[in-house]
Amino acid sequence: MSIFKNSSLSFIGLLAILMIVTVDVVAQEPEAERPAPRRPSFQRGPRIISPEIHPDNTVTFRLLAPNATRVTVSGEWMAGFGASEDLVKSDTGLWSLTIGPLQPEFYGYSFNVDGVQVLDPVNALIKRDGTRNASILFVPGKESDLYTVQNVPHGTLSKVWYESPTLNMTRRMYVYTPPGYENGDKNYPVFYLFHGAGGDEDAWTTLGLAPRILDNLIARGLAKPMIVVMTNGNPFIPAAPGEAPVLPPAEPTAAGPGNMGSGLFEESLVKDVVPFIEKHYRVIANTDNRAIAGLSMGGMQTQNITNNNPDMFSYIGIMSMGLMTRRDLGMDDSTQDFGGKLEALKKSGVKLYWIGCGKEDFLYASVQTLLDTLDQHDFTYTYRESTGGHTWANWRIYLSELAPLLFK
């Protein structure tokens, strides 16, 4: 007896309908009767694969656009902002281009179709950098090995809300706890890691790939197991776009775009974030087990925090940021008595003052000023000069090199 007395659809039929809304279906039917693979309505016809990564790391992009006059692709492997390459149209209206070989890396790219930016419609993976999105091209290999999810123990990544009395709001941050945290009773050192201007608390995960890098470094014994705290560094914004009540954009003030010169985020980090972490997580709550680093705006925040709290962090990292002054903004000058503050830091026994910058970074000159100033004070630091500029490619490399130096 069939219980399907009221049902007009077979189970396979139902499953097929269930699947068609999102994935390919290859029906189990005799060859002659097998239908063409079904695609969502906006993408009928043969299945298009894009990007296709070939064994030699050349990459083929494809876009079906029969009515387009010109299709280009722009990607992070290209030199120069706004660079692009033309795709070539086939008889069927399929545009394609093979480039490379590319160095293994986690790239963003997008198409431009007759003047309109188009994310690759057959590529599910997208990354957001501030207000802009790009399709993801991950080229596997030695150089991007740390950026892949590998078959190693994984830490837990949590989106955590905390009260910030300093900023008078509830704010969101990411906390990475290392593999084994949940299973043990060990206490861990903590690494506070800051994004740059225009970014938010998502950035070090979605663009910086910090959880994967830490998982892989820890698995290889190259970094100590540690907690990593990734905050939102915009003092008047509680969380990433779409993840917080919509507030009116902060008016430009004397503290500069995003109020980044206000010092308020720095104050909240010290008064709100560190105490929250040290209360809620199993941490080793002392100077030698606190590290702090940031890129660009986050590098300025790192300097401000460590200059004003010389006894708090033993490990300090500055990525793509030099010596800055807030004098022009009418604020307390972050370089005010910089020398005196350096001396205090020196006296506090900082174990690592690490600076990374790319040769083509537009802040390169200010980084050299920072190095000169440190030299004048016989302040010990580690300087890592890379190729390239003000890019996540560099910041992922800096994290990969800095994390192994912490807490050792």
388: alpha, beta or left? (left if phi > 0; alpha if psi -120 to 50): left
Question: Is 26 in contact with 39 (CB distance < 8 Å)?
Answer: no
Which of 101, 121, 141, 404 binds a copy of itself (CB under 8 A)? It is 121
Nearer to a copy of itself, 217 or 312 (CB): 217
CB of 43 to a copy of itself, least distance (A): 7
Whole-angstrom distance, CA of residue 375 vs CA of residue 19: 63
Nearer to a copy of itself, 296 or 314 (CB): 296
CB of 334 to a copy of itself, least distance (A): 9
Which of 10, 187, 380, 382 binds a copy of itself (CB under 8 A)? It is 10
Which of 100, 101, 130, 141 binds a copy of itself (CB under 8 A)? It is 130
Is 242 a residue that touches a copy of itself (CB under 8 A)?
Answer: yes
Interacting residues with a copy of itself between 18 and 37 (CB under 8 A)? 18-19, 21-23, 25-26, 28
Is 277 a residue that touches a copy of itself (CB under 8 A)?
Answer: no
Cis peptide before 101 (omega within 30 of 0): yes
Interacting residues with a copy of itself between 287 and 346 (CB under 8 A)? 296-297, 322-329, 335, 338
Tokens at 384, concatenated: 């890592």
DSSP string for 171-236: EEEEEEE-TTGGG----B-EEEEE--TT--TTHHHHTT-HHHHHHHHHHTTSS---EEEE----TT
Interacting residues with a copy of itself between 63 and 82 (CB under 8 A)? 63-69, 81-82
Nearer to a copy of itself, 258 or 312 (CB): 258
Question: Is 243 in contact with 237 (CB distance < 8 Å)?
Answer: no
Whole-angstrom distance, CA of residue 127 vs CA of residue 107: 10
Secondary structure percentages of the chain, helix, strand, coil, to 5: 30, 25, 45
Which of 57, 78, 101, 159 binds a copy of itself (CB under 8 A)? It is 159
Tokens at 32, concatenated: 């002659």
Whole-angstrom distance, CA of residue 247 vs CA of residue 235: 12
Nearer to a copy of itself, 65 or 167 (CB): 65
- Per-residue binder mask for a copy of itself (CB under 8 A), 92-111, x = binder: --------------------
Output the CA–CA distances (angstroms, integers) from residue 81 to 75, 129, 206, 390, in the order listed. 9, 15, 21, 12
Interacting residues with a copy of itself between 372 and 391 (CB under 8 A)? 372-373, 390
- Per-residue binder mask for a copy of itself (CB under 8 A), 244-263, x = binder: xx------x---xxx-xx--
Which of 75, 97, 108, 128 binds a copy of itself (CB under 8 A)? It is 128
Q: β-strands 352-358, 382-386: how paired? A: parallel
Which of 34, 47, 132, 186 binds a copy of itself (CB under 8 A)? It is 132
Whole-angstrom distance, CA of residue 48 vs CA of residue 41: 14
Interacting residues with a copy of itself between 34 and 63 (CB under 8 A)? 40-43, 63
Is 8 a residue that touches a copy of itself (CB under 8 A)?
Answer: yes
